[in-house]
């Protein structure tokens, strides 16, 4: 079974601060996928990134960056120069790419509040 | 906008009733997934359909059922509703990349 842990329940920062959201995953599979989703106050779930287990390259997209480290089973998400619009709940998730590959296992989410 | 649509946005009903939630996947996506989001359980996978066939099942209650139709839209049926079924129900769809794109959700309130 897969498990995803987001140890930070809530984070509060002031605009322009950098913030890192932690994600630790557990799996016995050699092939798996990791995801981050954003849930703004409006409620929808917005896909941010997908990473497969064979690709440990870090990724940067604008102010967002992701650090995937298999050695520590972590897939952390950093927002640089945070903005008020970044306030949301962020979910890390995984699936195993196997016969039940569709099932996403979500962490409990981290509530990020960015104050002006 | 993910391209996944869900209706209705909000649903208020009474205990013991039955409701149907509807989902239309993104154009071309063959897989449809249903998730439940509640405060105590978080985001939980319910069921997956692929091209009309059930592919995977999560912790879906026996009172709940789903199907995917030939036009690929899906419906989630919830019956004998209980207060604890109040939650946000999401539908997601995926294509060849397996990335799941979520709809806006249906907020169900059982009174």
Per-residue model confidence as pLDDT tens digits over A25-62: 998 888 889 999 999 999 999 999 999 888 888 888 89
Instruction: Tell me which of A9-13, B11-15, B39-43 is least confident.
Output: B39-43
Q: What mean pLDDT, rounded, does chain B reach?
A: 95
Looking at the predicted structure, is the pLDDT value of residue A99 above 60? no
Indicate whether B30 pLDDT > 70.
yes
The residue among B7 and B95 whose pLDDT is bigger is B7
- Which of A102, A105, A106, A110 to mutate against chain B (most B CBs within 10 Å)? A102
Compute the average pLDDT of residues B91-95: 94
A40 and chain B: CB distance < 8 Å anywhere?
Answer: no
- Using pLDDT thresholds of 50, 70 and 90, give the confidence band for residue B50: very high
Res B31 pLDDT > 60: yes
CA dihedral sign, ordered A96, A101, A104, A105: negative
CA distances from A30 to A3, A54, A99, B10 (A): 14, 9, 14, 40
What's the count of helices (H) and strands (E) in chain B, helices before strands?
Answer: 0, 11
For the cut 70, the answer to whether the pLDDT of residue B12 exceeds it is: yes
Share of chain A above pLDDT 70, in %: 96
- Is B96 at the interface with chain A, CB within 8 A? no
Which residues make beta-bridge pairs with A51?
A: A34
B100 and A104 in contact by Cβ < 8 A? yes
Order the strands of the B74-78 sheet from edge to edge: B5-7, B19-24, B74-78, B64-68
pLDDT at A101: 62
Q: How many residues does chain B have?
A: 111
Above 80 in pLDDT, residue A96?
no
Cβ–Cβ under 8 Å, residues B52 and B69:
yes
Q: Is B101 on the interface with A (CB under 8 A)?
A: yes
Q: Which residues of A touch B45 (CB under 8 A)?
A: 103-105
3-state helix, strand, coil in chain A (%, to 5): 5, 50, 45
């Amino acid at each position: 079974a897969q498990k995803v842990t987001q140890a930070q329940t809530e984070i509060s920062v002031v605009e322009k601060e950098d913030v890192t959201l932690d994600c630790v995953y557990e799996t016995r599979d050699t092939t798996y996928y990791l995801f981050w989703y954003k849930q703004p106050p409006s409620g929808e779930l917005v896909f941010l990134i997908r990473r497969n287990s064979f690709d440990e390259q870090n990724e940067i997209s604008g102010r967002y960056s992701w650090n995937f480290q298999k050695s520590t089973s972590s897939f952390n998400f950093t927002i640089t120069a945070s903005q008020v619009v970044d306030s949301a709940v962020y979910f890390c998730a995984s699936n195993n790419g196997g016969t039940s590959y569709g099932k996403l296992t979500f962490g409990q989410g981290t509530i990020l509040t960015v104050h002006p | 906008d993910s391209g996944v649509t869900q209706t209705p946005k909000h649903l208020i009903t009474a205990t013991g009733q039955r409701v149907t939630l509807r989902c239309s996947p993104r154009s071309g996506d063959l897989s449809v997934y249903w998730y439940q989001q509640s405060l105590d359980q978080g985001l939980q996978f319910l069921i997956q359909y692929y091209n009309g066939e059930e592919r995977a099942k999560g912790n879906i209650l026996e009172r709940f059922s789903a199907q995917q139709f030939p036009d690929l839209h899906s419906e989630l049926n919830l019956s004998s509703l209980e207060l604890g079924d109040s939650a946000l129900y999401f539908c997601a769809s995926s294509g060849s990349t397996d990335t799941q794109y979520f709809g806006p959700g249906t907020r169900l309130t059982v009174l």
